Amino acid sequence: AAGATGGVAAGATAGAGATQPRGAQAGFARAAPGGATTAGAAGNAQGRAHASADGGLDRSRAGDHHHKPPTTTRKPVAPAPALATLPGTPVGDNARARESEQKLPTSPWSANQASCKPKFVLPQPAPLHATHFNGVQLPDACFLGTSSNPDGQHHVLVIGDWGGLVKHPWNKTVKGTLAADHRDKKHFKQHYRPYVFDVDDFAQLKVAQAMQRRAETYEPDFVVNVGDSFYWGGINVKCGAPTYRCADITGQWKIAYEDIYGGLGIDSKQWLGVLGNHDYGGFMFTAGWDQIIGYSWLESMPSKGRWVIPAQYWTVKTQYDTFTIDWLFVDTNVFDTWLPQADQHHNICSRDHNPAGATCGVQGPVSAKDCPDWFKNLWRAQVKWMESALSASTAQWQIIVVHHPPEGMWGGKEWQRLCQTYGIDLILAGHRHRQEVHRPDSEGNQLRPTAYVVSGGGGGITSENEPDHDGADDEYGFVDLTLTAAEIMIEGISHGSEVRSTTCITRRQRGGMLTPLMGTSLCEGRPEGPRPETLVTPPPPTPMPMPVQEPVITDSTGYVPSPPSQGQGQTYGQYGGEQYGGTTYVQPDTTGVAAGVQPSATGVAAGVQPGATGVATGVATDAAAGVQPGSTGVAPGVATGVTTGVVDGQQWPTYPTYPAPMPVPVPAPAPHRGILPFHLWNPLRGLIKHLRR
């Protein structure tokens, strides 16, 4: 196949001063200070290298060691999920939207001013497109005075990956939601685990009840939602309808959100959040992700006016008597997108699950082909936007909210740079379905001394490991943040209301270390709890074979996309429609070749003919994607050291390997209980308990 020439990627997208969105004709498009709109995907330069290192982004997937000659037929695939349609949704080829017009400001901007109230005020009116308020800065919210809580402090709850299935025909006795689970060994060969009855089936409800019990004592000011609000594939309506036409026609909002999260201390609290990969559709981009944004403005039932996601990325400042916090909400779903023919199980831009003519209209993506560049443009703009917001921040604390953990393949190198340069104090994430607190002094924390939290155990999907019936685990739960001028205390709380860990952090200085604490810590006398690097983690799963090579497909420019590879010390497993990074479970070897990939001759990646110096599949001689031309014999994913490729006219650093994760001890098998094998005991105990009820 014709490969990249000179390692030069596609041309840059339109910059500042580009045309305004077509929504302007309806009076909704506004110019954003320092912002611009981009028209369509990046220019298709012949032989462009789509795999690049855009802001820590690695799209190199060459090296399919199961390569077979191209065929003219494709294996049959399951039909795409049926989605309901709202009025105004684009249909067919959507002749009005040949190119997406993204509004991508690179610095925060204010839509309208409001007096400082103890609540978050949305910009008005409701937008035509979900991307209209991208980059917006909401008016400050003021939580002044001493809190009425017993400790006199202000609290915020954090939850993610929480919205279970509202339709479960296999179990009609349950009214409400059931967790999307991994009981099917056929579809979840790598992530299968036994089902724990009375915990897994009611996980979302158990976490919600634990949150409500906590809120009765320590009332939060608001809730932070780190994404994946609806499983399996977001709101089951098609994207592209006007955002102001949001309606709960599927019942998911009422059943999975409004009816579950309530009670004293929770009822009126606003939920501030971001979108997760499942909110876009998991392995497609056409679910109602824009309606998740539009629900923020819904004034009719079932909405209680608590939902606050005004855009894909946005910011707000909260004021307290003696300190302020800048909250930045960022979309990281670019890390779950590849070229359409790659990884059909976990790729938002997949060809098989986005049907022909799939489009979200003028807001984009307009097609599966447009999808990868659409998300890359979004990420590039957000990096510049974060740099602008953080450099201008005068708040005592800076907290970033994302969906993917800020590590490894999910932009780990970019997050390290941002944390070091701007002194980010705390990052809140989800995506991994368990509860973790990575302390400033944890050896496994690559962002240290910046702390980060993974709160992906909200119960919408089964957890990584088997939970305990009484909640003595870190699988399902949420996080309680106690906010003060000197410290933030992070408490991990399980589905059984058990405080599993307590961590206190102080402010991180820009380019430096933590601010010394003067006086007594909030954590004084409290149990610290387990550290993430000592938590019980299953051994690496047996890697699945790579799929058969798809036929070579070219576009009108003659561009031939590169086939997928195992990447740099990473694996990709089936995970219910999402990509799951292997940094936690895969120990990279010294050559940067992931487990399950057969190392070949020195300097030649799997899938590259040994002896064919510097020639990889789909890549021209000495011009591997993202690798400095002239680095003979180095194929994508096998480079040693840090190289630089030319991408969109800029020099972008590429990092061939990530530091190996801390070794994780594997516990000895539990003893048999009588004649029953230990791995059957928990499910049977749960079933007996269920039958007794």
Kind and range of the H or E run holding 418: helix 412-422
Rounded Cα–Cα distance for residues 636 and 64 (Å):
12
> How far, in Å, are 237, 285, 373, 381, 687 from residue 377 at the CA level?
25, 15, 6, 6, 50
3-state secondary structure of 244: helix
Distance between CA 200 and CA 519 in Å, rounded? 43
Other CB atoms within a 10 A radius of the CB of residue 77 amount to 11
The CA distance from 87 to 358, in Å, is 17
Q: What is the structure's pLDDT at 196?
A: 92
CA 123, chain centre distance (Å)? 25
Q: How far, in Å, CA of 129 to CA of 529, rounded?
A: 45
DSSP 92: T
What's the pLDDT at 80? Answer: 60
* Predicted pLDDT of residue 676: 56
Instruction: State the angle between helix axes of 371-392 and 412-422 in degrees (0 to 180), rounded to the nearest 10.
Output: 20
Q: CA dihedral defined by 215, 216, 219, 225, rounded to 10 degrees?
A: 20
Distances (CA, A) of 656 to 14, 172, 339, 409, 570: 30, 50, 20, 11, 11
Listed in order, the ranges of the chain carrying CATH 3.60.21.10 are 122-534
Q: Using an 8 Å Cβ cutoff, are 506 and 483 in contact?
A: no
| pLDDT 10s digits, 329-345 | 999 999 999 899 887 78
CB 561 within 8 A of CB 2: no
Tokens representing 49?
A: 């290298």
Q: Which amino acid is at 502?
A: T
In which element (H, E) is residue 692 found? Answer: helix 678-692
Residue 455 pairs with which residues in a beta bridge?
A: 435
Instruction: Quote the pLDDT of residue 652.
Output: 37
Q: How many helices (H) and strands (E) does the chain have?
A: 7, 22
pLDDT at 272: 99
Rounded to the nearest 10 degrees, how much is the dihedral formed by the CA atoms of 196, 197, 201, 205?
Answer: -100
Check: CB of residue 446 under 8 Å from CB of residue 410.
Answer: no
> d(Cα 576, Cα 232) in Å, to the nearest integer?
7
* CA of residue 209 relative to chain centroid, distance: 25
Pairing of strands 643-647, 650-654: antiparallel
Q: Is the pTM of this model over 0.85?
A: no
- What's the fold here for domain 122-534? Purple Acid Phosphatase; chain A, domain 2 (3.60.21)
Nearest to 662, CA basis, from 591, 585, 589, 595? 585
Residue carrying the six token digits 């602008």: 388
- Cα of first residue to Cα of last residue in the chain, in angstroms, is 63
- 460 touches 230 (CB < 8 A): yes
> Residue 155: what are its φ and ψ, rounded to 5°?
-125, 150
Residues of the chain with pLDDT under 70: 1-82, 91-99, 113, 182-192, 529-682
pLDDT at position 440: 95
pLDDT value, residue 637: 38
CA 498 – CA 476 distance, rounded (Å): 11
Gyration radius of the chain over CA positions: 24
Distance between CA 19 and CA 37 in Å, rounded?
6
Q: How confident is the model at residue 183, as a pLDDT?
A: 66
